[in-house]
Structure 1
Amino acid sequence: MALYVYAITGRDHPLAVTDMTGVGAEPSPVRALACGPLYAVVSDVSEEIRPKRRDLLIHQEVQERLMAGGPVLPLQFGYTAADEATVEQALGKDADGHLANLERLDGRAEYHVRASRNEEELLRQILRETPETRELNERIRAGDPDPQLPLALGRTVAAQVEERQDALAAGLTDALVPYAGDHSVRQASGDDFLNLSLLVSDDRKEEFLSAWSGLVRQLGEGVDLRLSGPLPPYSFVR
């Protein structure tokens, strides 16, 4: 039978998930499959697993329970293997690498930072502070018939938005990275201009959170800063 694989742990992990049932339309118990010095945390599945709400929540709860008991290498949602032999072969192929990863992530958690800005406030700020945009805007409002003015204003404002967003993203990253052992910057989406993951050790957690609170106070309501964590270290499994 096919297996859904949640995570990899060391053999000394307490594995406080054996009272759980796993993903799928006919959930089976979550269990540990041993291979040398490692465990794969799995459950049996009989169908293709799709990202339904219940299954996403179960996947995350397994990760969080495991993380509370020690280092874990979380797998992204949806990973399945044909059978136990396939899982055992995969674990045995790079057991030393998995063990080194577990040691590197021990006592560390992922924190995820996203940031966006109030668009209207940013545009007002640009028009107020940038002479070129202010002049173009005033000419348009005064009725200047030049058809190129709106296009020129749009280009200038867009360039200013990008420049200011990039500068603020870099400043936030520089302010938070010193508290992390590792970090990853990904392409922001939607209205966000920052998508940052940080690997923070437990002994620096309070410093990190204090620095975060300071940034929130400093930037005020014009910038929407969101912090998620502590999370399983998905972004830092190598």
Structure 2
Amino acid sequence: MALYVYAITAAAHPHRFDGMAGVGSQDAPVRTVTAGPLCAVVSEVSEEILPKRRDLLAHQEVQERLMADGVVLPMQFGFIAADEPAVRQALEENTDAYLSALQRLEGCAEYHVRVAQEDEAPLLHQILGDVPEARDLNDRIRAGDPDPQLPLALGELVAHEVEARHQTLAAGLVEALVPFAREHVTHPPTGDDFLNLSLLVPDEKKDDFMSAQANLAREIGGGVSMRFSGPLPPYSFV
């Protein structure tokens, strides 16, 4: 039968799964497939697994239970293997790589920092105050200048300034936070975000990291919001 694969761990991991049901409608128990020094954490599935709320929560619950007891290589939601021999073969063929990754991630967790411009008014006010050309265009428009090119010119100039300032702020935030991380990944921003940052933070630096990000969130101002999540399984670093 097909197996839904949650994660890979060392064989010595405690694997506390009592009472846990896996993804899918049949509520199959979560168990392990062992090959030498490694285990894959799995449950049986007999259907296509879609990202429904119930299954997303079940997937995340398994990750959190594993992470509470030791290092884990989490699989992205939806990873399915053909059967148990296929899982065991994958573990055997990639033993050295998986053991190396487990060692690299030992004692760490992933944290996300996302930054967005929630209120544009303060930034636009700054741009009009700092950029004479933008201020002149805005004044001419407000005074009733009929030139139809003025709004377009002002819009392009402001958009360029907004992007430049967001890039500068994002770079400064990354520079301030990466000293607390063993590794970091800058993802493409989505939606209104202009920074989407993942950091692999060692446990011994967790408190200092959280204090630093809290201070940055208070200081950032200018209509900018900073959203923080973690500790999380290290998806971005597997």
Normalised by the length of structure 2, the TM-score is 0.97
How far apart are 1:132 and its partner, in Å? 1.0
Give the equivalent residue in structure 2 for 1:45: 45
2:203 corresponding residue in structure 1: 202
Name the structure 1 match of 2:224: 223
Mean CA deviation greater in 17-26 or 30-39: 17-26
Shift >6 Å, 4+ stretches: none
Listed as ranges, the gaps of 5+ residues in structure 2 are none
Q: CA deviation at 1:27?
A: 1.4
Q: Is the 8 A contact 2:123 2:222 kept in 1?
A: no
Aligned identity (percent) is 63
Q: Note if 1:120 corresponds to 2:143.
A: no
The aligned residue for residue 12 of structure 2 is 12
- Structure 1 equivalent of residue 131 of structure 2: 130
Q: Name the amino acid aligned to 1:201.
A: P
Contact 1:18 1:31 in 2 (8 A): no
1:232 is matched with: 233
Any conservation in 1 of the 2:21–2:27 contact (CA below 8 Å)?
yes
Distance 1:57 1:125 in 2: 43
After TM superposition, give the deviation of residue 221 of structure 1 in Å.
6.4
Task: Name the CA distance, whole Å, in 1 between partners of 2:120 and 2:211.
Answer: 27
Asked if the contact 1:115–1:194 (Cα under 8 Å) also holds between the matched residues in 2, the reply is yes
Match of 1:163 in 2: 164
1:191 is aligned to: 192
Q: Which amino acid aligns with 2:208?
A: E
Q: Deviations over 1:172-201 (max 9, x none)?
A: 000000000000001101110000000000
Contact kept? 2:112, 2:229, Cα under 8 Å = yes
Structure 1 stretches of 5 or more lacking a match?
none
What CA distance in whole angstroms lies between the structure 1 residues aligned with 2:59 and 2:222? 34
| Kept in 1: contact 2:6–2:40 (CA 8 A) | yes
Q: Would you say 1:99 and 2:68 are equivalent positions? A: no
Counterparts of 1:207 and 1:60, CA distance in 2: 26
Do the aligned partners of 2:122 and 2:222 also contact (CA within 8 Å) in 1?
A: no
Q: Residue 174 in 1 paired to residue 184 in 2?
A: no
CA distance in 2, matches of 1:120, 1:29: 53
Amino acid at match of 1:4: Y
Deviation of 1:151 (Å): 0.9
Size of the aligned set, in residue pairs, is 237
- Aligned-partner residue type, residue 88 of structure 2: E
C-alpha distance in structure 1 between counterparts of 2:177 and 2:18, whole Å: 37
Partner of residue 211, structure 1: 212
In 2 relative to 1, CA 151–220 (structure 1 residues): closer, same or farther, beyond 3 Å? closer
Where do 1:54-65 residues align within 5 Å?
A: 54-65=54-65
Alpha-carbon distance in 1 for matches of 2:136, 2:20:
64
**1:63-74 mapped onto 2 (5 Å cutoff):** 63-74=63-74
Normalising by structure 1, what TM-score? 0.97
